[in-house]
Structure 1
Amino acid sequence: MERSTLKLKPKYKRTNKDIRNTTKVNDVKRLLHHCKKLKWKWAGHVSRMDDDRWTKRITTWNGPLGKRSRGRPMERWLDEILKIAGKQLDRKEINRDKWRKMEEAFTQ
């Protein structure tokens, strides 16, 4: 994750310790927890949007149907959230307090 943040290509041989000094990230678990938390908050924000907003359309878009490549299907951005939220993601009446309680399950 840190290498992609710095846009480092594999040909640049840098140690993880050197990269962590550059990014000032010492605790990777805390970073991942923070990223998941932001993802969950964005999903809650999108779920409360009107259906005609472009942001919601693009976030929930599944893409064209047709032939897919071999192997395990790639997990979409929304799939991970739907595992925890389920059908509640589509409901408008879900309140923020309930959504925050589900956040703890998602970020662990």
Structure 2
Amino acid sequence: MLGITRLTQVRAGIRSSTPREQSKIRDAAAYAKLSKIRWARHVMRLNDHRWTRAVSDWTPRDVKRTTGRPATRWSDFFTKSFKEIYNVLRVPRTDRIH
């Protein structure tokens, strides 16, 4: 797509992330995850409770869990994602000494 072969990339010492940034191709899994989160934020803003109650309380039943583990809820994905984002953005406090 950019006219860079793997051989020229190795000879020139170009990292594989550079052509990826130049081509502006997105990672499909990351794009799908962001789209899902963006849609959930949109649904959370609805006030008429058409979808919000039904979607947020939805539990997938097609996946079997081991005995003793609770079923996965739809909201667990978002809770986990928001925690990951928060932990990345969070700056540790340096004014405390333990």
With normalisation by structure 1, the TM-score equals 0.39
Higher relative helix content:
1
- Structure label with greater radius of gyration: 2
With normalisation by structure 2, the TM-score equals 0.42
